[in-house]
Amino acid sequence: MQEFKQLHQQTTPFIIGNVWDAASARCAQQAGYQALGTSSAAIASLLGYEDGEQMPFAELVFMVRRIAAVSKLPVSVDIEAGYSREPEHIADHIQQLTGLGVVGINIEDSRVDESRTLVDVDQFAAILSAVRNILRQRQVEVFINVRCDAFLLGLDHACAETVKRAQIYQMAGADGLFVPCLTQAGDIKAVVAASSLPVNVMAMPDLPCFEVLAGLGVKRISSGNFAHDAMHRHLLNQLVEMKQSGSCQSLFDSSTVG
């Protein structure tokens, strides 16, 4: 866990390899990534579920076990909102994952019921603090990366809300702050300056290049489920091409394989 924590203190952001199964974990390791992070949306899609804790936690554990079995890299797991509303149960889930060798988790401050909404900041901070205290009592060490969804949900006051939550989450025991859909330089600066938590951003079409992000103080970059989605778009194109051409040749075309 300390090795993983140190990755968030480098002079340049570290790119976490977002994976969804053993094969993608092997790819990320071969590509030279320093750590792996599971994508809950990608794993859910792989298993035929919608995102938002529709996948049973036991099936997530199975996938994490297979990922951990094929890689020596540190693994962080996206546990969405914790697969429970009770701190004791959330801590149980985290402890189960650390038993597989997991060193970090992502937990988000929004929940999906009929739609995705932010949890009240004080309510979420109380849950976070309770989970951290339970884990400390059990002597379970894990890097807690809190995902703040103000930008993801497109709130008008997303930057101010994220800044407020960053400060509260740091006091509640967070180790890092993950802000998906945070892309504008001014907003990134404000969020980075709001606390001492290392800030994690996610791939988006208008996200600045890594060099610019380093200058803005970003410490970690995720790709979410976008690599998984791109891979399946490629697969669909391959299947359509093979069916329409009446040939398997496209599977072996050097311009499309690699």
Where helices occur in 79-120 by DSSP H, the ranges are 87-98
How much is the pLDDT for 255?
56
Predicted pLDDT of residue 179: 98
Question: In the prediction, which pLDDT does 1 show?
Answer: 84
Question: Taking a C-beta distance cutoff of 8 angstroms, is the pair 174, 200 a contact?
Answer: no
What is the three-class DSSP state of 125?
A: helix
Mean pLDDT, range 120-137, rounded to an integer: 98
Q: Of 127-136, 178-187, 230-239, which range is least confident?
A: 230-239
Q: Which of 194, 114, 193, 108 is nearest to 151 (CA)?
A: 108
pLDDT digit string (tens) for 213-246?
A: 999 999 999 999 999 999 999 999 999 999 999 9
Res 192: pLDDT: 98
What pLDDT shows up at residue 257? 46
What is the tens place of the pLDDT at every residue in 3-43? 999 999 999 999 999 999 999 999 999 999 999 999 999 99
Instruction: Give yes or no for residue 113 having a pLDDT over 90.
Output: no
- Sheet of 104-108, strand order: 14-15, 220-222, 199-202, 176-178, 143-147, 104-108, 75-78, 36-38, 17-19
Residues 6 or more apart whose Cβ sits within 8 Å of residue 94: 79, 105, 131, 135, 140, 142
Q: Could you identify the residue written with the tokens 């194109």?
A: 237
Residue 180 pLDDT greater than 80, yes or no: yes
pLDDT band at 258 (very low <50, low <70, confident <90, very high): very low
For residue 199, is pLDDT > 80?
yes
Mean pLDDT of 77-99: 97
Residue 252 pLDDT class (50, 70, 90 cuts): confident
pLDDT at 54: 94
* pLDDT > 70: percent of the chain: 98
β-sheet bridge partners, residue 233: none
Look at residue 89 and tell me whether its pLDDT is greater than 70: yes
What length is written for the chain?
Answer: 258
